[in-house]
Amino acid sequence: MPIETRKPFADLFSRRDFLAGASAFTALGMAFWSGGCEACLTQIQNRPTRRNIAALSPTDPIVTAYRAAVAAMKALPASNPISWVAQANIHNNSCPHGCWFFLPWHRAYLVYFERICRKVTGDSNFALPYWNWTSSPSIPAPFWGDSSNALFDGTRGVTASDTADPTWVGPAAIESILGNPSFTLFASDKPPGGLPTHMGSGFGSLEGNPHNNIHGWIGGDMGNFMSPLDPIFWMHHNMLDCLWVDWNINLGNSNTSDASWSGYNIPDFVDENGNPVTVPVIDTVLFPLFTYQFEPCSPNEPITNKLTGARLQQFLKAGAPSTLTFGEQHEAGRAVSAPAGQAVSVPIPGGSGAFQNALGADKRNRLVLTLEGVDIPTPSEFFVRVFLGKTDANAGTPIDDPHYAGSFGVFSDPKAMAAMAGDHRGRYLVDITEAAQRLNKAGSLSPDRMDLTLVAVPYAHRQPKDQALTIQRVALATARF
């Protein structure tokens, strides 16, 4: 069957209403904001609200509908494109990670999955819930029980009472991620050649920390690229989408204007009838304005963007230059390795004097730790905490220590690892600006060198055997965007 480029917003309306209000997707937005297409206006204003599933009872109609949808999809043969296995295979075969297509790809994936849920249940008003792991760090109650519960996955490496580490999902961690105005550092880096990569060209803060670590911590099906087999996957990624909405729309941070991002067409999905669809990335930036909305998911009361209507639409579509220009760089000059459960000290020459631009008040100047050639174990059983100026840091050092600078996880998959070599085995960008500024203000930074300590912390209930964090190149650099 030939693949066609679909306009998901147009699909929301009848052909008569759509054509009455607009003749193309862009015109639809203009018709809406100018008061045309009254049916469109009503439907958009009443678009479904995605709610926090942890705040819903196991018998809530939304939870019941989701459970029924999962059960119906699991009952379909794997050859059916809307079946549970077929949907997971889309992710296994095509999902981009460690690059800036991560967010729009998964947003489109969620939209079409949501439509499939509506189709198989007959509930045309169903809105996919999300799991707010910041306010509810344990996997919510509806996902436990036994095999009679379609939302249960027996491969998980955690229990109902386990809680996600605040290093990844705590209010301070999420506030720091949302406070980073750089699209590259927030949403991951531009991949080599400008096309999606299956793994590892440059993990940013949202993907490298809460995304990777929730996958690795839960483990089992969630610990590899067939992770959509676990029904919690869709709740996890919906929370990430909610945070992108908060960062981009509520806080007014710009996505990239790079044409290789905005002009890319994602060819990987099927609609609720099993028909292949291609989704333009530029369409995905407007999904939250036209097709769904979220209950607030930010740790704090979200700031509402002052832009509204057509001006907000234009802001989202235009983006802004997002090139992260690296200035002075200083390398450790050696590969480093830390066995799981241990720490490694990495002195970086240069000291505070070499990084003065990043230590000032201009938020466009950042201090970025770049880790390249990261040898990622499969499956990974640990995450990494970064401390600045504390050579005695270890797995027990609390993250409210002023020297704590950030974290990242090494979500991995054997298939992806087998396809990679050299420096593309894993690249991570860790913005340590806040910690450096805090310590510099206190007079705690050395003028001669920056002492970094990387601590490989095992996930709960894991006893990693022969696993280690191994990095070929460690560098610290000033960067401006």
Q: Is residue 40 included in any domain, yes or no?
A: no
Burial class (CB in 10 A: 0-12, 13-18, 19+), 13: buried
Same domain, 224 and 267: yes
Q: Is residue 223 included in any domain, yes or no?
A: yes
* Residue numbers of the domain that contains 74: 47-318
Q: Is residue 26 included in any domain, yes or no?
A: no
384-403 tens-digit pLDDT? 999 999 999 999 999 999 99
Q: Which of 286, 318, 350 is the last residue of a domain?
A: 318
Q: Which of 318, 345, 377 is the last residue of a domain?
A: 318
Residue 38: predicted pLDDT: 65
pTM (whole model) above 0.75: yes
How far apart (Å, rounded) are the C-alpha atoms in residues 203 and 187? 8
Q: What is the band of 445 on the pLDDT scale with cuts at 50, 70, 90?
A: very high
Residue 481: predicted pLDDT: 85
Assess whether pLDDT exceeds 50 at residue 421.
Answer: no
Same domain, 166 and 278: yes
Q: Is residue 380 included in any domain, yes or no?
A: yes
Q: Which of 300, 318, 336 is the last residue of a domain?
A: 318
Same domain, 221 and 109: yes
Assess whether pLDDT exceeds 90 at residue 67.
Answer: yes
Could you give the percent of the chain with pLDDT greater than 70? Answer: 88
* pLDDT average, residue stretch 331-338: 94
Q: Is residue 438 included in any domain, yes or no?
A: yes
Q: Is residue 136 included in any domain, yes or no?
A: yes
Same domain, 296 and 343: no
Burial 372-411 (b: 16+ CB within 10 A, else e): bbbbbbbbbbbbbbbbbbbeebeeebebeeebbbbbbbbb
Same domain, 76 and 203: yes
Mean residue pLDDT of the chain comes to 88
Assess whether pLDDT exceeds 70 at residue 150.
Answer: yes
Assess whether pLDDT exceeds 60 at residue 23.
Answer: no
Angle between helices 102-121 and 84-94 (to 10 degrees): 170
165-223 tens-digit pLDDT? 999 999 999 999 999 999 999 999 999 888 888 776 899 999 999 999 999 999 999 99
CATH number of the domain where residue 475 is located: 2.60.120
Which position has the token pair 């994936």?
Answer: 109
Q: How many domains does the chain have?
A: 2
Residue 411: predicted pLDDT: 78
Q: Is residue 94 included in any domain, yes or no?
A: yes
How far apart (Å, rounded) are the C-alpha atoms in residues 388 and 451? 6
Residue 4: predicted pLDDT: 41
User: 3-state secondary structure string, the chain?
Assistant: CCCEECCCCHHHCCHHHHHHHCCCHHHHHHHHHHCCCHHHHHHHHCCCEECEHHHCCCCCHHHHHHHHHHHHHHHCCCCCCCCHHHHHHHHHHHCCCCCCCHHHHHHHHHHHHHHHHHHHHCCCCCCCCECCCCCCCCCCHHHCCCCCCCCCCCCCCCCCCCCCCHHHHCHHHHHHHHCCCCHHHHHCCCCHHHCCCCCCCCECHHHHHHHHHHHHHHCHHHHCCCHHHCCHHHHHHHHHHHHHHHHHHHCCCCCECCHHHHCCEEEEEECCCCCEEEEEHHHHCCHHHHCCEECCCCCCCCCCCCCCHHHHHHHHHHCECCCCEEEEEEECCCCEEEECCCEEEEEEECCHHHHHHHHCCCCCEEEEEEEEEEECCCCCCEEEEEEECCCCCCCCCCCCCCCEEEEEECCCCHHHHHHCCHHHHCEEEEECHHHHHHHHHCCCCCCCEEEEEEEEEECCCCCCCCCEEEEEEEEEEEEEC
Same domain, 286 and 342: no
Least confident of 343-347, 423-427, 428-432: 423-427
Tokens matching residue 181 = 């105005």
Residue 25 CB neighbour total at 10 angstroms: 17
Least confident of 352-356, 422-426, 430-434, 460-464: 422-426
Residue 157: predicted pLDDT: 94
Q: Is residue 288 included in any domain, yes or no?
A: yes
CATH number of the domain where residue 242 is located: 1.10.1280.10
End-to-end CA distance of the chain: 43
Same domain, 114 and 207: yes
Same domain, 306 and 367: no
* Closest listed residue to residue 96, CA positions, set 242, 201, 212: 201
Same domain, 74 and 160: yes
Same domain, 382 and 442: yes
Same domain, 113 and 183: yes
Residue 417: predicted pLDDT: 54
Whether the CB-CB separation of 382 and 456 falls below 8 Å is answered with yes
Tokens matching residue 191 = 């991949």
Same domain, 314 and 392: no
